Structure 1
Amino acid sequence: MNGIAIRPATGDELGAVAELRWDWVLENGGLPAVTREEFTKSFASWARENAVTHRCVVMVRDDEIIGMAWLAVVQRVPTPHSPARASGDLQSVYIVPEERGNGLGSLLIDAVLRLAHDRGLERVTVHSSVRAIPAYSRRGFVTSPRLLQADLADPT
């Protein structure tokens, strides 16, 4: 793990982060609806506009971004016991293919969990690929019979 740093992404790095997101979509069989250049520009703009609720951490080796992970923060309805509540969702964890299998994904997950803990979040959820479930399980994620979801992507 020599030469590896994990830190918040800077505004100047959002283009490189967009490139990772583009690669992730292609690896998973996605077909882009826009050009790579259009996506990079719109992604960087989106990241700047949503910086309060979506925090990106990057993994850097020798000034090259080789991984990313996002923490999406959602404010929760206050209770009499806790007037300021929030939870998080771990999103878009990605390591470039040539760096996989060395525990780097776990380092990114840990970094996001520390960020969530430092922000006082109640919980962090993740929507995982089947392949990544063991990595999340090793980091303390468990299934919950009370956390349900409705998939709205296909309304049929």
Structure 2
Amino acid sequence: MDPVTVRPAELRWRWILEGDDAAPAAMDREAFVRHFVAWAGQHASSHRCMVLVRGAEVIGMAWPAVVHRVPTPHAPDRSSGDLQCVYVVPEARDAGLGGLLITETLARAEELGLERVTVHSSNRAVPAYARLGFESSPLLQAHVARTTPYP
């Protein structure tokens, strides 16, 4: 049997290690992969992983999270989305691939009928999101809890 690699977990690990201000990891890579696989299975109904693949290699990922919203008389079945963990490996950046990944993820969100999709962006990625139609809103507020050393 061929060895199996859980690519999203590998990319998530690489993303954390890439950050200059990242806190030390709470577990080693193998433990994280096991944890991540279990987490992805438990959250498959709310988090749908999208991957960017070149040849046989996964070079990017995005995790749209679907949140069910309180029904209204006009819209009894409502949902919104939060675009999480968008990552493209450094050697594939600045070629429009992140934009392609986000565009395809937004198309999936539209298929799901999501009312809106939000994202917590890095400073570097703000222009990319703006090019794809994301905009700041004074009506969308966030309370950021400071419970972990890394966002």
Matched residues in 2 for 1:146 and 1:78: separation? Answer: 20
Over residues 39-62 of structure 1, what are the superposed CA-to-partner deviations in whole Å (9 max), with x where a residue is unaligned? 011101100110100000001111
Aligned sequence identity (%): 55
1:34 aligns with 2:27: yes
Match of 1:23 among 14, 17, 27: 14
Note the 1:92-103 alignment, pairs <5 A. Answer: 92-103=85-96
Structure 1 runs of 4+ off > 3 angstroms? none
Counterpart residue identity of residue 147, structure 1: L
Counterpart residue identity of residue 56, structure 2: D
1:60 aligns with 2:53: yes
Q: Which of the two has greater strand per residue?
A: 1
What is the aligned partner in structure 2 of residue 110 from structure 1? 103
User: Alignment partner of 1:98: what SS?
Assistant: helix
1:77 aligns with 2:70: yes
Matched residues in 2 for 1:66 and 1:154: separation? Answer: 30
Matched residues in 1 for 2:118 and 2:37: separation? Answer: 24
Matched residues in 2 for 1:144 and 1:58: separation? Answer: 28
Q: Which of the two has greater helix per residue?
A: 1
Over residues 66-89 of structure 1, what are the superposed CA-to-partner deviations in whole Å (9 max), with x where a residue is unaligned? 110010000000001000000000
Stretches of structure 2 lacking an aligned partner (at least 5 in a row): none
Note the 1:134-149 alignment, pairs <5 A. Answer: 134-149=127-142
User: Alignment partner of 1:130: what SS?
Assistant: coil
Matched residues in 2 for 1:69 and 1:32: separation? Answer: 21
Counterpart residue identity of residue 119, structure 1: L
TM-score by length of 2: 0.91
What is the aligned partner in structure 2 of residue 6 from structure 1? none
Q: What is the Cα deviation at residue 154 of structure 1?
A: 4.9
Matched residues in 2 for 1:153 and 1:25: separation? Answer: 18
Q: Are the structure 2 counterparts of residues 35 and 61 from structure 1 closer, same or farther at C-alpha, using a change threshold of 3 Å?
A: same
